[in-house]
A and B are shown apart, each in its own frame.
Chain A
Amino acid sequence: MRKPRILARRTSRELSMQVVSRSTKRNSAEDRTRRYPAAVETSARLELAQLIADELISHPEAVVGVALFGSVARHEDSDASDIDLLVLVGRPAIGARTLRTFLPSNVSTQRVSLACYTESMLREGMRTHASLALHLKLEAAILADTGGRLSTIIHTPIDLHQAADAEIAALRSSLERLRELRQYNGDYLFLLSRVYRISRSLVYAFLARLDIAEFDTATAFAVLSEHRQELAPYLQALERLRPFSDLTSEVPSSELPFSREAHGAAAYALQAALKLATA
């Protein structure tokens, strides 16, 4: 028996209206939008990231610091890359949706990813996610930082081995949720995309466990293969899945290594990831 809705919800139309009213409120800020370039190359993305950080930090009641990380920070970005910003917020109730209301409307149409943390969440995140800790320690560019609080957290020494172990355990749990192959009804695209992303995180965590920090996304699988040769066949199989991940992210992708409906190949990829997670 269907029940009446007990929770308020926003329809597409209401969401659209919300966007319109938000834009209208921002009319006074329209002049500022001209400062925001279309981010089509690294230098433009870096400039845009700084402008966004300046805008966010002008709301000191909400934002404490902003750092750029990911492919743009590494200057490895492509046309479809997100600008990944870590935002240190004053309280946990502030999320990406609120932060986007601080930005001019033409920014929200670009690929900007806002990862929000309070200070305690970020400290905990770095203690339990070696790949996050490595990313931030190796590549984060601090764009805004009230009182140096964000910089202090990023540069506080942590036990990377412990963080790697915690992350691997969490990723193993995530993989468990993917195991039931019947749930995909014969189309494994989203499974393969997730398996690739989880595997990439596993690789970073294993490298952290080996005290290896000199790698990038293009070489991480190969670097781990050199150090853990018994895992090489699995790593090779998992690295091949990248086009599935690119496809789901609307990133221009190379040809898929096999069909998204290939049951045997999907099952093998999942097994390879589970092998890696338990290595």
Chain B
Amino acid sequence: MSSIAVELFDRVDEFAECLTANPKDFWKDKASNESIAVFCENFFGQFFATLGAPIAGFGVKAKEAAVRKRLSLPESAAPTRQLIAEYEDLCEIWDDIKGARYVEDREAMQDFACTYLSALLEDAAGWLATLSSPDDKLVLARAEQCWDKYQEAVKPICP
């Protein structure tokens, strides 16, 4: 079994397809917001499971635990530490972008799409590249494919 489910990256593709189809109002699309929230939650859930430090959410306590975990890792584990830092960043903005049914926060979603998600996908690929199992190599290939597609999709909406 791979560390991260390869099927999870289909959710990023759905979000990218929404950006391409509807660059002006992508942030109003609840289903694609759902897709990217599912990706973020489960990607980090599975990532922290590989570290033996399962998470249950994106709140204040979860972030504090992540900081402790990051600081406990050696500098040689840079890709892992970087991905934990991405999680900490997400905890900061999660309330604004979690795909809540009611909230249509264009500012938050624009920042998320243009700044956060691109970096997360790159750092995810960086971390996956450190894993050695054949299943994880397949996930890495899928993550890089997904990142390429996302980079193209996000260009028109970012200043």
Which residues of A approach B to under 8 Å, CB–CB?
Answer: 1-3, 5-12, 15, 92-98, 113, 115-117, 121, 125, 129, 131-132, 170-171, 173-174, 176-178, 180, 182-187, 189-191, 194, 197, 201, 247-250
Contacts and interface: CB of A to CB of B under 8 A. Distances in A.
A177 B14 contact: yes
Interface residues of B, number: 60
Contacts of A191: 42
Contacts of A95: 96, 105-108
Contact of B57 (A2, A131, A247): A247
**Which interface residue of B7, B56, B85 has the most chain A CB atoms within 10 A?**
B56
Contacts, number: 145
**Which interface residue of A131, A132, A183, A201 has the most chain B CB atoms within 10 A?**
A183
Contacts of A116: 103-105, 107
A174 B7 contact: no
Given A2-B144, A95-B107, A183-B7, A189 B122 contact: no
A171 to B, nearest CB: 8
B138 interface: no
B61 interface: yes
Interface of B: 1-2, 4-5, 7-8, 10-11, 14, 30-31, 34-35, 37-38, 41-42, 45-46, 49, 54, 56-62, 85, 88-89, 92-93, 95-96, 100-108, 111, 114-116, 118-119, 122, 125-126, 144, 147-148, 151, 154-155, 158
Contacts of B147: 3
A263 to B, nearest CB: 13
Contact of A249 (B1, B59, B96, B105): B59
A266 to B, nearest CB: 12
B30 A187 contact: no
A92 B100 CA distance: 17
A132 B101 contact: yes
